[in-house]
Amino acid sequence: MSESEDDIVDEAEDTDDSEDVDDAELDAGDADENPSTVKLLIEYIARSLVENPDEVVVTDDWDGYRYVVHLDVAETDMGKVIGRGGRVAEAMRSLLKVAAARQDARAVLDIGD
């Protein structure tokens, strides 16, 4: 082969390596983004509802097939986050599920300890 043919072959090999992306790698990359979006959503809603927004703590964990978002607020703000008959908590759970579904994930919300 001539030098120009070698260059073409080398370029083709380099291109093939960059295009070979495993689906598992894509899913793993998306998984890193999912909890931050749903976590930020819950944190925004909770901070808007409570009197002590600095005491809002939101964490998320992957339990194997879904994200579990934990919401902790001050004891005095617990009623505002839960709402009468649990309506506010149920609305937050619904929004969380929609946000997660838009990213092809599942998520649940735990409020309190």
Please give the Cα distance from 32 to 28 (Å, whole number): 7
Angle at 49 between CA 34 and CA 101, to 5 degrees: 25
Could you tell me what percent of the chain has a pLDDT over 90? 56
Which residue stretches of 1-113 are H helix? 3-19, 23-49, 78-82, 87-101
- The domain locations on the chain are 3-111
Which tens digits make up the pLDDT trace of 46-86? Answer: 999 999 999 999 999 988 889 999 999 999 999 999 999 99
Rg of the chain taking only CA atoms, in angstroms: 22
CATH superfamily of 3-111: K homology (KH) domain (3.30.300.20)
